[in-house]
Amino acid sequence: MSPAVPQTVAVAFTGASGMPYGLRLVECLLAAGCKVWLLYSQVAQIVARQEMNLELPSRPAEVEAQLAARFGAAEGQLRVFGREEWFAPLASGSNPADAMVVCPCTMGTLAAIAAGLSQNLIERAADVAIKEGRKLVLVPRETPFSAIHLENMLKLARLGVVILPPSPGFYNHPQTVGEMVDFVVARVLDQIRVPHRLMQRWGETEGEDA
């Protein structure tokens, strides 16, 4: 991979709608050769079941085995950590991920990150990403946004956090839900500089390299 491509990406699933975005992101990161550190909230387990008929076990080791098999990850390429696993590498600025994505991101998680609460490993890992100057992308799935939501987003954006709502475009004439998911995941991958071929880029003709 190019030196510009992050070697390790932390991905967090929280309880907002949009689990297909998060799972597809993990799949693409693994396919690109990145190491993935995965975190998930308790409510994310409910959302995965409701939206995708996917059971995410409560034990991180079981989720790790399940998703590694599902996506064909190499040994050690995917690691899954518990919400209170404070000795996980991404809990410390001495060993942060190169980039972090919270996808999907609840308004509660976004507010906690904006306030620097660090009450669980997801919030702490995001706090570490901000303080260490690493790329942090939040994919907030809510509508409409209240003034509180917008103020929290503005506060984070001023700190350099990327606020990337999952708003698929239609200029590529998507034919399936999967293509609409890929549009959003492509935008996330672009932000953390991971190469992909999920969609034709604006101004390119079919067949050109993405």
The pLDDT, as a whole number, for residue 202 is 85
The residues spanned by each domain of the chain are 8-191
How far is Cα 49 from Cα 31, in angstroms, rounded to an integer? 24
Query: Is 176 one of the annotated binding-site residues?
Result: no
pLDDT on residue 4? 61
Could you give the CA distance from residue 18 to residue 132 in angstroms, rounded to a whole number? 28
Q: How confident is the model at residue 206 (pLDDT cuts 50, 70, 90)?
A: low
Q: What is the pLDDT of residue 1?
A: 46
Check residue 208 and give its pLDDT. 57
Query: Is 92 known to sit in a ligand binding site?
Result: no
Q: Is 187 annotated as a binding residue?
A: yes
pLDDT tens, position by position, 73-116: 999 999 999 999 999 999 999 999 999 999 999 999 999 999 99
The tens digit of pLDDT for each residue in 122-174 reads 999 999 999 999 999 999 999 999 999 999 999 999 999 999 999 999 998 99
Q: Which pLDDT value is given to residue 184? A: 98
For residue 26, what pLDDT is reported?
98
pLDDT score, position 207: 58
Is 41 one of the annotated binding-site residues? yes
Percent of the chain, pLDDT > 90? 90
Contacts 24+ apart (CB under 8 A), 83-87: 83/39, 83/40, 83/41, 83/42, 83/120, 83/121, 83/122, 84/120, 84/121, 85/60, 85/121, 86/121, 86/124
Q: pLDDT above 70 covers what percent of the chain?
A: 95
At 159 the pLDDT is 97
Q: Is 171 annotated as a binding residue?
A: yes
pLDDT of residue 203: 84
Q: Please tell me the distance from the alpha carbon of residue 37 to that of residue 123, in angstroms, as a whole number.
A: 14
Q: Give the fold, CATH level 3, of 8-191.
A: Rossmann fold (3.40.50)
Question: Is the model more confident about 42 or about 203?
Answer: 42
**Residue 14 marked in a binding site:** no
pLDDT at 3: 52
- Tell whether residue 141 is among the known ligand binding residues: yes
pTM for the full model?
0.94
Query: What would you report as the CA-atom Rg of the chain, rounded to the nearest whole angstrom?
Result: 16
